């Protein structure tokens, strides 16, 4: 995982000078001016579709190199969790609470540290609006991106523990009724 993050960040840093607008997240700018965008949205259907085609060409790299692999990875994790019946086993009490807390707390702490470091690298210290992170901004965004699934794991484990405790049986009942109505 860390190799993928570092490799992706390195690739983005190399490409930054060629295609990125700035280090603060403007990212891949469309090759049109704001006036042309306004005209495209308020003009004919043809101008709107042409603008969308240009936007798609610019964003296709983000979709294939970032969103696509993340969605596929999430699918694979869900597949493994479903086949192993981990959620059912967790709710049935097969895993001890101490073991689950032992997974959730480090995941939340590591996710918080990675997110904090990523934010610091991407946007600078709090209160520094003129921060120019350049190459570090991409590394910060990559670290934050790597932190999201780690933090999500911690939150999901804590939520599943809460639902397992019985304290939220009323919510489960309401949700089950709503699901049965639809």
pTM for this predicted structure: 0.57
In a domain, 161, yes or no: yes
Note down the domain range covering 134: 2-30+85-181
* Nearest to 37, CA basis, from 27, 46, 47, 45: 47
pLDDT at 37 over 80: no
Tens digit of pLDDT for each residue in 79-126? 998 898 888 888 788 888 899 899 999 999 999 999 999 888 888 777
Q: Is the pLDDT of residue 13 over 90?
A: no
Portion of the chain with pLDDT greater than 70, in percent: 80
The reported pLDDT for the residue numbered 179 is 78
Q: What is the mean pLDDT of residues 119-148?
A: 79
| Residue 142 belongs to some domain of the structure | yes
**Got the DSSP string for 43-84?**
S-HHHHHHHHHHHHHHHHHHIIIIIHHHHHHHHHHHHHHHHT
Is 50 within the bounds of a domain?
Answer: no
pLDDT confidence band for 176 (50 / 70 / 90):
confident
pLDDT band of 154, cuts 50, 70, 90: very high
Residue 69 lies inside a defined structural domain of this protein? no
- Are residues 91 and 163 in contact, defined by beta-carbon separation less than 8 angstroms? yes
- Whether 9 shows a pLDDT value over 70: the answer reads no
Is residue 2 within 8 A of residue 59, CB to CB? The reply is no
Task: Let me know if residue 44 belongs to a domain.
Answer: no
Q: Which of 8-12, 31-35, 64-68, 147-151 has the highest mean pLDDT?
A: 147-151
Does the pLDDT of residue 16 top 90, yes or no? no
Q: Tell me whether residue 53 is in a domain.
A: no
What's the rounded Cα separation, in Å, for the pair 104 and 176?
Answer: 26
Number of domains in the chain: 1
């Amino acid at each position: 995982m860390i190799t993928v993050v570092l490799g992706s960040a390195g690739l983005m840093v190399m490409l930054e000078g060629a295609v990125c607008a700035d280090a603060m997240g403007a990212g891949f700018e469309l090759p049109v001016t704001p006036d042309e965008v306004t005209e495209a949205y308020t003009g004919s259907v043809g101008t709107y579709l042409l603008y969308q085609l240009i936007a798609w060409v610019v964003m296709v790299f983000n979709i294939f190199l970032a969103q696509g692999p993340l969605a596929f990875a999430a699918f694979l994790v869900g597949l493994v969790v479903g086949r192993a019946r981990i959620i059912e086993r967790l709710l049935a009490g097969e895993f001890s609470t101490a073991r689950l807390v032992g997974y959730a707390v480090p995941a939340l702490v590591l996710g918080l540290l990675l997110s904090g470091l990523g934010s610091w690298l991407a946007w600078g210290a709090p209160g520094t609006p003129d921060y120019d992170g350049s190459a570090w901004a991409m590394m910060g965004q990559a670290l934050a991106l790597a932190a999201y699934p780690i933090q999500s794991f911690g939150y999901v484990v804590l939520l599943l523990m809460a639902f397992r405790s019985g304290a939220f049986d009323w919510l489960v009942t309401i949700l089950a009724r709503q699901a049965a109505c639809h």
